[in-house]
Every structure is written in structure tokens, then in C-alpha cells.
Amino acid sequence: MSKRIEAKNLDIYYGSFKAVEDISMVIEPRSVTAFIGPSGCGKSTMLRSLNRMHEVIPGAYVEGELLLDGHDLYGPGVDPVNVRRQIGMVFQRPNPFPTMSIKENVLAGLKLNNRKMKGSEADDVAERALRGANLWEEVKNRLSLPGSGLSGGQQQRLCIARAIAMQPEVLLMDEPCSALDPISTLAIEDLIQELKDSYTIVIVTHNMQQAARVSDATAFFNIAGTGAPGKLIEMGPTDKIFSTPDQKSTEDYITGRFG
């Protein structure tokens, strides 16, 4: 239930603006890959193109190949809806649907495909997903209350539960902790460690320590200047990137000399 992602010479555009240029990388299954780099370097754009969410912005498109276990995500006949069902996403700010209860939020994605889910089956799925997101114990007595009543960290774990209830192959996380306090951040980081046993996880983060703590592989993105496209500078095992990177700019960024 976990797949390999491979990008080959990927360019990402917003209209005529080239946001990301010539990315080639392999993201291994059952591991955590972190994207780091200064603001505007294209790491979020890259992440969003992995499940075709960047298409939501009008005029955005990609060139090159992006393969999920050998199948091109942008091939002819590929349905972005199917892509997104298999590649789940967690956003920077927790975004549970405000009008739905906690349980309805978890089941929101599943209900789309499986309209007549039996009550007991739905309960099981919801429990499994919430347990998977380390949230079950905290909310099991208030499943029918609105999700917006939870704390920020709980809301974010609810969003993770909502994503893993779909049983995706890949889980994308776009700075999932940037709106959370340190304790909630720790809970999410622990959760990421558990989830990597079953999912391919890609996480964008501004927090270098977080990348060092949770990820197995790290990719460093950078831009030459404003208006220039973002590029992948270097990618490798996290230990190596954080101790002996090949590129000078990677070292500068990690040691805090810029960015």
C-alpha cells in the first residue's frame, strides 16, 4: 500500500511563469522524504504537483514525467480525481469541514465512493483512521460534535485521519506543523514516524530540525533570484545532507547562513 514516485525532468508552470525547473528525483516507498529550502523555492509547488492539486490554480500545468509505480500521473486518460484519491494531502493549516462532525469529517472522502456504507462498517473505518492518527482516545466520546471544536493540533490530526481513511498510497504534507504549538508538533512528528511503516510520506517543512528528526531522505530546493524558477539542488539521505552535503549552498542553508 505504498508506492514509489519518480520525477523525470519535471517543469512546473503558472501560466507563462516557470515556477520549478528540471526536477528529477525518486521518492522511496515506506519512507519519509522532506523538501526543504527558502521561501518561494518551489517546494510546495512541487509537492502540490504530486497529486495534481496545483491545477486548482488556473493556468498551471507541468511538463515532463511524474510516475507513480511506473504510471504517469499526467498521462492521457488519467483522472486527477483518481490521482488525489490515491495520494492524500494534509495542508499547512488544519481545515476540517466546519459543518461536519468529527466522524463525518473522517468519512468525508469515503462517502464519495461508497454512498451506502453500513453504520457498523462506517464506525470501524472511522475508528481505524482515528487510531491511525493517534486521535481516537481524545475524541471517542464526542464523535458527533463539530470538528472545528478541537484544538489546532487535534484538528490537524483529524485532517490526517481524514486522509488516511482513504487508504492512500502516498501522503503529502505541506508544512503540517507550521500553525501548531510545540507539543502538538511533537505529536504530529511521532505520528509521521508511525505512518511511514505503511505509507510513502512527503513533507514540506521550513523547520530544519524537523526535517532532520523525521525524514529519511531530504531534498534541498533553491532559487537563483526572484522570478527565476526553483531548482532541486541536492537530494540524498538525511544524515548525509545534514552532515556532509555535496553543494556549498546546501551547507549554507542548513547552517543558517542564509534563508
Partner 1 sequence: MSVTTNSSSKALNPLKAGQLPRWAPWAGLGLALIVGLVFGGMKVAASTLIAAAVFVVGMHVLSLYVEGRRRANDRLAQHIVYGMFMLALVPLVWVSWIAVKNGLARLDAPFFTYSMRNIVGEGGGAAHAIYGTLYVTGIATAISVPIGLLTAIYLAEYGGNSKLAKGITFFVDVMTGIPSIVAGLFAYALMALLFGPGTVNGIGGAIALSVLMIPVVVRSVEELLRIVPNELREAAYALGVPKWKTILSIVIPTAISGIVSGVILAIARVIGETAPLMVAAGFTQSLNNNPTQGQMMTLPVFVYDSYAHPGIPRQPYWDRAWAGALTLILIVMLLNLIGRVIAARFAPKAGR
Partner 2 sequence: MSSSTIAQTDSSLRPAKRRIGDTVFGGLSTLSGVSILVILAAVAIFLLAQALPALTTAPDVLAEQGYGEFWGWVLPFAFGTVWAAFLALLIAVPVSIGIALFISHYAPRRLAQSLGYLIDLLAAVPSVVYGLWGIFQLAPALQPAHLWLSKYLGWFPLFSGNPSGTGRTIFTTAFVLAVMILPIITSLCREVFLQTPRLHEEAALALGSTRWEMIRMAVFPFARAGIVSAIMLGLGRALGETMAVAMVLSGAGVIHFKVLTQQNPNSIAANIALNFPEAFGLRVNQLIASGLVLFIITLAVNILARWIVSRRAQYSGAN
What is the contact surface with partner 2 in residues (CB under 8 A)?
51, 53, 56, 58, 81-86, 88-89, 91, 93, 95-100, 108-109, 112, 146, 148-149, 159, 162-163, 166
Judged by CB under 8 A, does residue 198 bind partner 1? no
What is the Cα–Cα distance from 68 to 152, expressed in whole angstroms?
Answer: 32
Tell the smallest beta-carbon distance from residue 37 to partner 2 (Å). 22
Q: Assign residue 50 a region (left: φ > 0; alpha: ψ between -120 and 50; beta: otherwise).
A: alpha
Judged by CB under 8 A, does residue 48 bind partner 1? no
Q: Which residue carries 482513504 as its cell?
A: 166
Tell the smallest beta-carbon distance from residue 132 to partner 1 (Å). 14
Do 167 and 66 contact (CB within 8 A), yes or no?
A: no
Put the strands of the sheet holding 170-174 in their side by side order.
Answer: 71-72, 60-68, 5-14, 17-27, 230-237, 217-223, 32-36, 200-204, 170-174, 87-90
Instruction: Kindly tell me which of 84 and 231 has the beta carbon lying closer to partner 1.
Output: 84
Q: Which stretch binds partner 1 (CB under 8 A): 8-16, 27-35, 75-83, 152-160?
A: 75-83
Judged by CB under 8 A, does residue 25 bind partner 1? no
Judged by CB under 8 A, does residue 81 bind partner 1? yes
Instruction: Kindly tell me which of 130 and 241 has the beta carbon lying closer to partner 1.
Output: 130
Q: Is 189 helix (H, G, I), strand (E, B) or coil?
A: helix
